[in-house]
Amino acid sequence: MGEGIGMSEQLSDRKARLALVVEDSQDQLMLLRRMLEREGFSVFGAVSAEAAIAAFDSISPSVAIVDLLLPGVSGAECAALVRKRFPDCAIVISSVLDAAGYPESDAALPKPVTGASLHEAIERVAA
């Protein structure tokens, strides 16, 4: 019986470590997925803000990495919607644009993203 409780705790820990990645570049999405999995996260990838928003009822991310330059709904709008829906989710903005112009977020992740820069951003927001 004690093992059952431990197992459900492990499952809830795993669920709490879900990263939402909103990135329209398939290569960047795959790179971020690999890096985040190495950091211990499960990853839900969305190639547009609309795809991320459509998944809101089935996910509960603890961190969201949002590209600013997205087709359709902008990354800034997407980040605001993620913040509204998941108030405890850390928002990390990623872009090739100057980080000084990023919208309010918990961390910035300028491109090109490296494993070290991702690790530093995750440590800052998920500690």
Asked if residue 3 has pLDDT above 80, the reply is no
DSSP bridge pairs for 18:
42
Assess if CATH 3.40.50.2300 describes domain 15-126: yes
Tokens of 44: 């839900």
Task: Label residue 126 by pLDDT band (50, 70, 90).
Answer: confident
Q: What distances in angstroms separate CA 67 from CA 3, 4, 22, 78, one per listed residue? A: 40, 39, 6, 9
Asked if residue 43 has pLDDT above 80, the reply is yes
Instruction: Give the start-to-end residue ranges of the domains of the chain.
Output: 15-126
For residue 31, the model assigns a pLDDT of 97
For residue 14, the model assigns a pLDDT of 42
For residue 8, the model assigns a pLDDT of 39
Share of the chain above pLDDT 90, in %: 83
The H or E element that residue 67 is part of is strand 63-67
For residue 2, the model assigns a pLDDT of 42
Mean pLDDT value across residues 45-50: 98
pTM beyond 0.85: the answer is: yes
CB atoms within 10 A of CB 101: 10
